Amino acid sequence: MNKVKVLFVCLGNICRSPTAHGVFEGFVEQQELADSIEVDSAGTGDWHIGHSPDSRSAAIAKQRGYDLSHLRARKVTTEDFSNFDYVLAMDETNLSDLKALCPSEFTGELCLFLNFHPDQSYCEVPDPYYGGEDGFDHVFDMVEVASQNLLEHIVSRHQLKAKTG
């Protein structure tokens, strides 16, 4: 069976998309689905390539039981559309950039990540980079809920067997 592959995308790949990557990867591991689901993240910009996630994201991740230490920023590529089933943007600007890069033959799902959040008043994951710690906490709250719903969607749609109990 081929793995379901999920790519989270923000601007610099140091705050929002690695947060989503780490949280979703944590949920995948908790449900013992790592053999069925692959997770990655990227940015539409190139100025942070090779950098670790923002220290504020990493600290809050650690407090909440997620590990971002293995993640390094990279730039999204056209090839990503051949490799991933889900390409999920953190905001409308990044979604627009992804649509411009997306080849016409892409058959996966290209949309906003928060389409998987039950509170539809949330459309975009706000960029916490220039704000305080509370912005990072807010991002984690949003990402955790959307990640749980995304995982349920993938398990159902692709008929995966998640750990029960």
Domain range annotation of the chain: 4-157
| pLDDT for position 133 | 76
127 is catalytic: yes
pLDDT of residue 43: 98
Ranges of beta strands (E only) in the chain are 4-10, 37-43, 86-89, 109-112
Question: 129-159, pLDDT tens digit by residue?
Answer: 888 778 999 999 999 999 999 999 999 999 9
Q: Which of 35, 91, 127, 137 is catalytic?
A: 127
C-beta neighbour count of 154 within 10 angstroms: 23
Tell me whether residue 72 is one of the annotated catalytic residues: no
Residue 164 pLDDT: 63
How many Å apart are CA 160 and CA 29, to the nearest integer? Answer: 13
Return the pLDDT at 92: 97
Among 16, 56, 74, 80, the active-site one is 16
Is the CATH number 3.40.50.2300 carried by domain 4-157? yes
Integer Cα distance of 61 and 79 in angstroms: 29
